[in-house]
């Protein structure tokens, strides 16, 4: 039972009784809150990454071909054997015809 003590205001008061902390419950709630925090962080991070990738993909599709970009595309076609490339034998013949010399 609570012991009766005399307070400073001269009224009788019951001495406070402190219960023991229920450690397993405190640990359980701490663990649950840590797991929920981790799940929330991972969920928000995942949603952000999906939205970010979607935004970048959308932005890449909006670029207008600028002169520099078109020039790079043409150069890639030449390197891949497309427009503007000829065989080495044909190139040698054209050089000989143009300059009139042969070796």
Least confident piece of the model among 3-12, 52-61, 77-86: 3-12
Check whether residue 69 and residue 103 sit in a common domain: yes
Whether 25 is covered by a domain: the verdict is yes
Return left, alpha or beta for 10; rule: phi > 0 is left, psi -120 to 50 is alpha, else beta: left
Check whether residue 73 and residue 100 sit in a common domain: yes
Cβ–Cβ < 8 Å for 14, 4: yes
- Could you tell me what percent of the chain has a pLDDT over 70? 71
Check whether residue 47 and residue 79 sit in a common domain: no
Whether 2 is covered by a domain: the verdict is no
Higher pLDDT, 13 or 48: 48
What is the extent of the structural domain holding 51?
21-63
| pLDDT(7) > 60 | no
* Average of per-residue pLDDT values in the chain: 80
| Side-chain half-sphere CA neighbours of 33 within 13 A | 6
DSSP readout, the chain?
-PPEEE-TTS-EEEPP-PPPP-HHHHHHHHHHHHHHHHHHHHHHHHHHHHHHHHHHHHHHTT----HHHHHHHHHHHHHTT-TT---HHHHHHHHHHHH----
**What are the beta bridge partners of residue 13?**
5
Higher pLDDT, 26 or 102: 26
Q: What is the pLDDT of residues 33-65, one digit of tens each?
A: 999 999 999 999 999 999 999 988 888 777 666
Q: What is the pLDDT of residues 83-92, one digit of tens each?
A: 666 778 888 8
Check whether residue 72 and residue 92 sit in a common domain: yes
């Amino acid at each position: 039972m609570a012991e009766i003590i005399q307070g400073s205001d001269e009224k009788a008061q019951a001495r406070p009784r402190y219960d023991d902390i229920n450690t397993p419950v405190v640990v359980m709630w701490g663990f649950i809150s840590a797991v929920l925090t981790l799940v929330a962080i991972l969920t928000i991070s995942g949603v952000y990454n999906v939205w970010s990738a979607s935004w970048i993909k959308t932005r890449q599709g909006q670029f207008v071909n600028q002169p520099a970009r078109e020039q790079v595309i043409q150069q890639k076609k030449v390197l891949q054997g497309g427009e503007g490339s000829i065989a080495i034998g044909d190139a040698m013949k054209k050089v000989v015809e143009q300059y009139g010399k042969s070796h």
